[in-house]
């Protein structure tokens, strides 16, 4: 024991010259006991350590002795017994109920090995690997001493609900009578092939319309994602940590029908996700494809677009590239009830590998290189979101949430502009709540009359949101909020081009009041957003205009906006 402890003195809380404090003595006891439990000493506690301070032999100091006894602080010396290092005996993994799981998968999750020295870290690591898989509702690891040198292990696994169906509905209506409805239905299977494979299927839609107006937009989507609890193409020994890495494969189809055009998008991707630590998560997609087909284009609409730059965004193209998502959070739990901060970054790059083949590719009349008779997109895009939520007040039931959001995309090479699906937009239930989605910006622009249903987008997005959340009674809560931001284009020579000089005049501002029904597992939200400063009018709205036509928007949603 002496050798084990002295080999780990570098991390000690007791340093020569430090102030002698009871809290540091307690921390050192806990640290030393943990070291010994990781080296075979099953059941070892901090109470075996005793400290003796001689304050008479050193001026303005103390000579500290650390003594390890065979009895605890609350026992008499007569209770002394020998400290023994234990070896793991039998290891049994027992799924409960009707759970059918491949034995190879259970062995992959387990890090506790028979005939190895008892190690508390391996037990905690195994526990977290089992629980992080979402396959089990509870995990119980029982350690039972067989004799004075062996301890047997039994892992009891209770299954969670393996299949489920979810439903989500968002909606909005503004004072001009523009309605928007966005329903989604999802199906999940947590154990598709018996090895923790997580399948998600989704059906979604979006419908925007105005009463007594035949023009409307419809959108329909199908999506599927299969998440495998391992990192394909790399040995599992590289991922022995507490959270399993995942390999993600996805396939989706989206169909949009607008008065001006129709568009379909077939997408697929292959990537990985893993936790670098409890607070830092990564997703990396080395390969993704979006095949975009635009058809039934209204010729009058296409001709009305003010530049070839805008016309390019409404053409069929092939988007082949990769991307990365990073999330840092101080509260990794699903529904934090304490103050927390998180930062989320999403980056995409497309077309660079294809550009290496330009010499062998044909061109269209505009000089763009073609793949399967359509141009390929080439761009870089990034978006960063910073969110701080602080709880305060009686029983910490009030909170102040703030978000800063920024994104920018840049097209180059084979592209004149960002693809439409990669452009930024503002407004909606999770953005500038005084506006319907895609009805604000870019910059000081008026709504484009070419669109029967608004579709304002830009190359750049800046936004700030502040929300005070407070209880009313029981499960009914409320919120006061303020939103500011907009989207802009980067191409020069247009009124909607971003510039710091004109920034204050082009920032939209809205404020409002919301009601939230919080039933723990589900939060239903209704927000009334009122336009404050309208960049299209370059003027603040007066109080008598707040509830006038085009002065407010009502949003319905599930979950917090950020």
Q: Please say if the pLDDT value at position 365 is more than 90.
A: no
* 105 contact partners, CB below 8 Å, separation of at least 6: 194, 195, 196, 229
Give the CA-trace dihedral at 108, 114, 118, 121, to 10 degrees.
0
Domain assignment present for residue 120? The answer is: yes
Domain assignment present for residue 170? The answer is: yes
Q: When comparing pLDDT for 395 and 384, which is higher?
A: 384
Domain assignment present for residue 42? The answer is: yes
Q: How far apart are CA 216 and CA 258, in angstroms?
A: 7
Do residue 154 and residue 168 come from a single domain? no
pLDDT attached to residue 495 = 66
Do residue 198 and residue 225 come from a single domain? yes
Sheet of 136-145, strand order: 87-95, 150-159, 136-145
Do residue 151 and residue 92 come from a single domain? yes
DSSP state of 536: T
Q: When comparing pLDDT for 447 and 509, which is higher?
A: 509
Do residue 9 and residue 64 come from a single domain? yes
Q: Please say if the pLDDT value at position 307 is more than 70.
A: no
The 10s digit of each residue's pLDDT in 479-520 is: 999 999 999 999 876 668 898 988 999 999 999 999 999 987
Last residue of one domain, picked from the residues 130, 159, 188: 159
Last residue of one domain, picked from the residues 159, 188, 213: 159
DSSP state of 445: P
CB 442 within 8 A of CB 427: no
Q: What is the DSSP annotation of 244-282?
A: --EEEEEEEEEEEE-SS-EEEEEEEEEEEEEESSSSEEE
CATH number of 217's domain:
3.30.1300
The 10s digit of each residue's pLDDT in 547-559 is: 998 899 999 988 8
Task: Tell me what the pLDDT averaged over the chain comes to.
Answer: 92
* 518 contact partners, CB below 8 Å, separation of at least 6: 475, 476, 477
The 10s digit of each residue's pLDDT in 71-122 is: 999 999 999 999 999 999 999 999 988 889 999 999 999 999 999 999 999 9
Do residue 40 and residue 98 come from a single domain? no
Segment (H or E) for 312:
helix 308-312
Tokens linked to 38 = 């990781």
What's the domain count of the chain? Answer: 3
Do residue 43 and residue 98 come from a single domain? no
State the residue range of the domain holding 168.
Answer: 162-231
Do residue 113 and residue 62 come from a single domain? no
Nearest by Cα to 492 from 520, 536, 467, 459: 459
CATH number of 93's domain:
3.10.20.310
**Average pLDDT score over residue span 421-430:** 94
Confirm whether pTM is higher than 0.85: no
Do residue 43 and residue 104 come from a single domain? no
Q: How crowded is residue 540: how many other Cβ atoms within 10 Å of its Cβ?
A: 11
Domain assignment present for residue 539? The answer is: no
Q: Please say if the pLDDT value at position 2 is more than 80.
A: yes
pLDDT attached to residue 306 = 62
Q: Please say if the pLDDT value at position 315 is more than 70.
A: yes
Last residue of one domain, picked from the residues 144, 159, 174: 159
Domain assignment present for residue 53? The answer is: yes
Do residue 9 and residue 56 come from a single domain? yes
Domain assignment present for residue 108? The answer is: yes
Phi first, then psi: give them for residue 544, nearest 5 degrees.
Answer: -75, -5
* 3 contact partners, CB below 8 Å, separation of at least 6: none
Q: How far apart are CA 27 and CA 33, in angstroms?
A: 10
pLDDT attached to residue 186 = 97
pLDDT attached to residue 336 = 84
pLDDT attached to residue 166 = 92
Mean pLDDT lowest among 229-243, 259-273, 346-360: 229-243
Do residue 58 and residue 8 come from a single domain? yes
Phi first, then psi: give them for residue 422, nearest 5 degrees.
Answer: -105, 0
The 10s digit of each residue's pLDDT in 457-483 is: 999 999 999 999 999 999 999 999 999
Domain assignment present for residue 58? The answer is: yes
**Average pLDDT score over residue span 264-289:** 94
Domain assignment present for residue 464? The answer is: no
Percentage of the chain lying above the pLDDT 70 cut:
99
Confidence at 240, pLDDT banded by 50, 70, 90: confident
C-alpha distances (whole Å) from 261 to each of 154, 269, 350, 509 are: 62, 26, 25, 31
Do residue 153 and residue 220 come from a single domain? no
Tokens linked to 310 = 């805008």
Pairing between strand 150-159 and 87-95?
Answer: parallel
Do residue 141 and residue 173 come from a single domain? no
The 10s digit of each residue's pLDDT in 197-220 is: 999 999 999 998 888 788 889 999
């Amino acid at each position: 024991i002496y050798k084990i402890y002295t080999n780990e003195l570098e991390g000690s809380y007791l340093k020569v010259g430090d102030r002698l404090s009871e809290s540091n003595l307690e921390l050192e006891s806990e640290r030393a006991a943990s070291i010994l439990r990781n080296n075979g000493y099953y059941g070892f506690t901090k109470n075996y350590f005793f400290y003796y301070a001689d304050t008479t032999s050193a001026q303005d100091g103390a000579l500290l002795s650390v003594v390890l006894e065979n009895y605890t602080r609350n026992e008499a010396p007569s209770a002394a017994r020998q400290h023994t290092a234990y070896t793991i005996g039998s290891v049994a993994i027992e799924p409960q109920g009707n759970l059918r799981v491949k034995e190879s998968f259970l062995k992959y999750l387990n890090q506790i090995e028979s005939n190895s020295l008892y190690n508390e870290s391996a037990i905690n690591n195994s526990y977290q690997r089992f629980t992080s898989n979402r396959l089990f509702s509870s995990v119980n690891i029982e350690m039972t001493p067989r004799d004075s040198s062996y301890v047997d292990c039994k892992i009891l696994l209770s299954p969670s609900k393996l299949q489920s169906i979810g439903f989500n509905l968002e909606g909005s209506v503004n004072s001009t009578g523009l309605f928007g409805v966005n329903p989604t239905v999802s199906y999940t299977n947590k154990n598709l092939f018996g090895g923790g494979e997580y399948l998600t299927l989704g059906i979604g839609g979006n419908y925007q319309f105005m009463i007594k107006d035949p023009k409307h937009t419809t959108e329909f989507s199908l999506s599927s994602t299969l998440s495998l609890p391992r990192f394909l193409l790399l040995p599992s020994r590289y991922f022995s940590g507490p959270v399993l890495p995942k390999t993600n494969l996805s396939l989706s189809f989206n169909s949009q029908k607008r008065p001006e055009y129709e568009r379909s998008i077939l997408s697929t991707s292959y990537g990985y996700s893993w936790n670098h630590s409890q607070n830092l998560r990564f997703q990396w997609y080395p390969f993704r494809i979006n095949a975009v087909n635009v058809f039934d284009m209204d010729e009058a609409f296409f001709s009305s677009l003010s530049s070839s730059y805008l016309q390019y965004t409404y053409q069929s193209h092939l988007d082949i590239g990769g991307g990365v998502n990073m999330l840092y959070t101080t509260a990794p739990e699903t529904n934090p009830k304490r103050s927390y901060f998180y930062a989320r970054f999403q980056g995409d790059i497309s077309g660079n590998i294809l550009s290496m083949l330009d010499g062998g590719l044909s061109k269209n009349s505009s000089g763009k290189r073609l793949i399967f008779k359509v141009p390929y997109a080439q761009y870089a895009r990034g978006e960063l979101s910073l969110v701080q939520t602080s709880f305060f007040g009686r029983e910490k039931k009030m909170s102040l949430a703030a978000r800063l959001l920024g994104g920018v995309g840049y097209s180059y090479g084979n592209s004149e502009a960002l693809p439409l699906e990669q452009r930024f937009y503002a407004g909606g239930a999770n953005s500038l709540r005084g506006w319907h989605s895609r009805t604000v910006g870019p910059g000081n622009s008026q709504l484009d009359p070419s669109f029967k249903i608004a579709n304002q987008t830009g190359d750049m997005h800046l936004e700030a949101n502040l929300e005070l959340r407070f209880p009313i009674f029981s499960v009914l809560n409320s919120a006061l909020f303020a939103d500011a931001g907009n989207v802009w284009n980067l191409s020069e020579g247009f009124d909607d081009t971003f510039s710091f000089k004109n920034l204050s005049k082009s920032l939209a501002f809205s404020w409002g009041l919301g009601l939230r029904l919080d039933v723990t597992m589900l939060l239903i939200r209704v927000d009334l957003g009122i336009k404050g400063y309208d960049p299209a009018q370059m003027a603040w709205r007066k109080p008598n205009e707040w509830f006038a036509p085009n002065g407010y928007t009502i949003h319905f949603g599930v979950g917090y906006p950020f």
